[in-house]
A = this chain, B = another copy of it.
Amino acid sequence: MHRIAARLDDRYELVAGAFSSDPDRARASALALHVHPDRAYGSFAEMAAQEAAREDRIDVVSVVTPNDSHVAICQAFLERGIPVICDKPLATTLDDARALREVVRASGLLFVLTHNYSGYPMVREARALVASGALGPVRVVQVEYAQDWLATDLEASGQKQAAWRTDPSRSGPAGSVGDIGTHAHHLARFVSGLRVESLLADLSSFVPGRRLDDDARVLLRFDGGARGTLWCSQVAVGHENGLRLRVFGEQGGLDWSQEHPNQLRLTRLGEAPRILHRGLGGLSEGAVRATRIPAGHPEGYLEGFAQLYADAADLLQGQGDPDGLPGIEDGVAGVAFIEAVVASSRAGGVWTAPDA
């Protein structure tokens, strides 16, 4: 996914890599990807050290390893002066996340976290609409992320994606909350511009034997007084990748669904709902710069993902400053959210302040 995303807008060339924790497999993979043998590294440590020493060193590294390895890897590159694009979630503990934040701050380097749904043009339009005051002060934020692929104990079959996501030792203390709830949390923050001040959570593990949550409902209180609900589930039969966000303000409401990402429903108080489309006239600068092809020709998930890479390329070349590009603060906020959700639920459902 990351390779396609990086390639799509032709802003990146893959020139080096450490593609496995097993050195031999790492080198073999690199060669299969046409990486020069000199830059086919056996480990991230080797890669960081040697790339840092090259004149033609890499401009940026993508970290797409399991969650529990992000911090060490990011740190290795940042401390050698190499910017980072990192998969989410940032870390498996809040302490780790905060430690990495210190490293990023000290480095002064670009750090992008791939909360990819923020790359969709109509999500950026939604953010711009809220920021412009088109909805008035925000009152209510409803966000949900519903899937069904873990409705059975797929992990028992050895399916790789299911196995690590349901394993506390690799995923951290949260299952669905860490995997998809953090996306929902980030999307709500990205669009509303609000921070979760306090939350109250009720986690479930419906599939017998599962050790992490596969369904979670979270009451949200935002700074400034808005309220909301976050529901994420991996057992919601009939939902594939149902990420949906609704934001309601005093003067208007927004509705966006990831499965039909090119449309955004906007209702101004007392008016008929309008269906805004990617590519139409009158959209915000942020939506326009994330648009490649004319209206009516759907752009999808890969294009949204690619946008983060394109934005990072711009920043690396000093060409722009995309509004709200997810970074280290979003990463820390995401881990703080996970910890607060888990703590609230373990305490039987008490209001808990995520402490980023």
Stoichiometry (number of copies) = 4
Chain B residue with minimal CB distance to A281?
B270
A329 to chain B, nearest CB (A): 26
Q: B269, A148: Cβ atoms under 8 Å?
A: yes
Q: B296, A298: Cβ atoms under 8 Å?
A: no
Within A212-239, the residues touching B (CB, 8 Å) are: 215, 217, 219, 221, 227-229, 231, 233, 235-239
Cβ contacts under 8 Å, A8 to chain B: 4, 7-8, 302
Whether, in the assembled complex, A248 has its beta carbon less than 8 Å from a beta carbon of chain B, the answer is yes
Q: B298, A259: Cβ atoms under 8 Å?
A: yes
Cβ contacts under 8 Å, A303 to chain B: 300, 302
Within A287-308, the residues touching B (CB, 8 Å) are: 292-303
Q: B269, A272: Cβ atoms under 8 Å?
A: no
Q: A301, B301: Cβ atoms under 8 Å?
A: no
Whether, in the assembled complex, A242 has its beta carbon less than 8 Å from a beta carbon of chain B, the answer is yes
Cβ contacts under 8 Å, A275 to chain B: 272-275
Size bin of chain A's contact surface: 35 or more
- DSSP class of A's interface residues: helix, strand, loop or mixed? loop
Cβ contacts under 8 Å, A240 to chain B: 277, 279-280, 294-296
Cβ contacts under 8 Å, A235 to chain B: 139-140, 248
Task: State in angstroms the CA–CA spacing of A294 and B7 once bound together.
Answer: 19
Whether, in the assembled complex, A62 has its beta carbon less than 8 Å from a beta carbon of chain B, the answer is no
Whether, in the assembled complex, A315 has its beta carbon less than 8 Å from a beta carbon of chain B, the answer is no
Instruction: Given A242-B296, A267-B238, check contact A140 B233 (CB 8 Å).
Output: yes
Cβ contacts under 8 Å, A268 to chain B: 237
Task: State in angstroms the CA–CA spacing of A228 and B151 once bound together.
Answer: 16
Q: A299, B300: Cβ atoms under 8 Å?
A: yes
Whether, in the assembled complex, A43 has its beta carbon less than 8 Å from a beta carbon of chain B, the answer is no
Whether, in the assembled complex, A21 has its beta carbon less than 8 Å from a beta carbon of chain B, the answer is no
Whether, in the assembled complex, A349 has its beta carbon less than 8 Å from a beta carbon of chain B, the answer is yes
Cβ contacts under 8 Å, A40 to chain B: none
Q: B273, A238: Cβ atoms under 8 Å?
A: yes
Cβ contacts under 8 Å, A271 to chain B: 274, 282
> Interface with B: A76-84, A87-95, A199-207, which one?
A199-207
Task: State in angstroms the CA–CA spacing of A196 and B210 once bound together.
Answer: 25
A313 to chain B, nearest CB (A): 15
Whether, in the assembled complex, A36 has its beta carbon less than 8 Å from a beta carbon of chain B, the answer is no
Cβ contacts under 8 Å, A25 to chain B: none
